Homo-oligomer: A and B are copies of this chain.
Amino acid sequence: MLKFFEYNWQVRDEWFDWCRQLTIEELLKNRQGGVGSILYTLFHIIDVEYSWIRGIQGKEDIKVEFADYNTPKKLKTLSDKFQNEITEFLKTDLDEVKEELVAVPWDKEKYIVDDILHHIIAHEIHHIGQLSIWSRELEFKPVSANLIGRKLH
């Protein structure tokens, strides 16, 4: 699991670098498909990941507002902060809890920890795939999605 989180975070950070090529208007422009703009997509990935991890931990959901993180710089700071917390959590023995059922306030179903972790990972990769299309539409080279040949931190 950890390898996928590291991969996702590295790809995400490379997309933050990629964002520097675009104006804030382009980053905030609503686009077809996906969840909205490029920057909102990154916000959504970060928000969903953190919310589920807190859910697994039995912690109260913290509502973050996009309006407070609507620049790449602010959003990267949020991403780094959450990554630090999640890294600590991922160091715990997940095998012990992976079959435990989790209830969260935003979903009426309960899910096991293992499925939630899989979900978080797939969720980010899926949305990053969407960014790659928008990137080509904007005539910019997208960040590589390759997992092999990528030096993970």
Contact = CB atoms under 8 A, between A and B. Distances in A.
Q: How large, as a class, is the contact surface on chain A?
A: 35 or more
Contacts of A115: 3, 147-148
A132 interface: yes
A133 B137 CA distance: 11
Contacts of A147: 115, 118-119, 122-123
A128 interface: yes
Given A111-B148, A126-B145, A33 B136 contact: yes
Interface of A: 3-4, 7, 32-34, 107, 109, 111, 114-116, 118-119, 121-123, 125-130, 132-137, 142, 145-149
14 contacts: A3-B115, A4-B118, A7-B118, A7-B122, A32-B133, A32-B137, A34-B133, A111-B148, A115-B147, A118-B147, A123-B147, A126-B128, A133-B133, A133-B134
